[in-house]
Amino acid sequence: MRRLHPPTHLLLAFCTTARHGSISRAAEALHLTQSAVSKQVQELERWVGAPLFERVRKRLVVTPAGQRYEQALRPLLAQIESATLEVMTSGDGGGALHLSSLPTFGAKWLIPRLPGFQREHPQIALHFVPYVQGYDFHRSDLDCSILFGDGHWPGATAEYITGREVVLIAPPAPRSRPLLRKPADVARFPLLHHTTVPQAWPRWCAAHGVQNINALAGPQLDQFHGVIRAVAAGMGLALVPKCLVRDDIATGMVSAPLDDGYQDEAGYWLCHPPGRAHAAPLARFREWLLREAAAG
């Protein structure tokens, strides 16, 4: 009986070509020649007895059968890569975890707590992958990512960490005359906005009954770190996750005159592909991270 286990290098050549939509780009990604990748794809097509690609107006297009095959293979290859990497890096029973994090959350919340994780799991090596907008769990060097949003990302398992508790921050007291004493007082100040949550101020105003102001007007910044620094410099007021700004409030860099326990919809989530949930380094990091979040 013929074994239905095509060689892994053929499957990798096919999936990489399907993902990039080009033999030449797949060859670059695999560090092979175009001829080698083309031959491997053709060999896999002979193996399965069905065309996986077709040329349409000089473009390489995945056939319907190829699409179904690639979707089924993608998580399996990711599991193989993850398991192999874990074995290669776990001579003492640990392993490596490749993660990405939003810069402000990483600097202000995650990294200050990581020494505790290292003390608990000294055998696990943490490697930070440069953060880019969105996420790409097709990459073999990304096990999990900390994202900001409502917890819904296609192809990812998401578990809430922290960040829904929002605080209104203002410049330090000497710069914030007249002081904010009630929600309606925000009308006296410019409002700063984070580009990811443009509806933050309209939702806050609706929740507090604040009317007759343009809650969408004001400068926009793309990172909470920049938002916090702008408030500290006296540019206006902002709404930020409380977990990011506790230390800045405590040191007086910014003030929180209306700390009212407001809860927003978005927060920080640990996201990973379902196929990698079994990996020991990710499981231990997840357990530790959720415990830290619950401890406040």
Name the average pLDDT for the chain. 87
* Residue 238 near residue 230 (C-beta atoms within 8 A): yes
- Using CA atoms, how far residue 79 sits from 86, 136, 145, 273, in Å, is 10, 15, 17, 10
Interval 18-38 mean pLDDT = 90
- CATH superfamily for domain 89-163+267-295: Periplasmic binding protein-like II (3.40.190.10)
Residue 279 is inside which H or E element, if any? none
DSSP 186: G
The ranges of the chain annotated as CATH 1.10.10.10 are 8-77
> How far, in Å, CA of 219 to CA of 210, rounded?
20
pLDDT for the residue numbered 1: 41
Nearest CA among 35, 42, 44 for reference residue 11: 44
Residue with more model confidence, 86 or 73: 73
114 has a pLDDT exceeding 80: yes
The ranges of the chain annotated as CATH 3.40.190.10 are 89-163+267-295, 165-263
> How far, in Å, CA of 229 to CA of 36, rounded?
52
pLDDT for the residue numbered 90: 54
Phi, psi of 14 (to 5 degrees): -65, -50
> What residues contact 113, with CB distance under 8 A and at least 6 apart?
292
Q: With 0-12 CB in 10 A as exposed, 13-18 as middle and 19+ as buried, what is 44?
A: buried
The percentage of the chain sitting over the pLDDT mark of 70, rounded to a whole number, equals 90
Phi, psi of 23 (to 5 degrees): -65, -45
Tell which CATH classification among 3.50.50.60, 3.40.190.10, 3.30.1510.10, 3.40.1160.10 matches the domain 165-263.
3.40.190.10
Pairing of strands 220-221, 124-128: unpaired
Tens-digit pLDDT profile for residues 180-208 = 889 999 999 999 999 989 999 999 999 99
Fold type of domain 8-77 = Arc Repressor Mutant, subunit A (1.10.10)
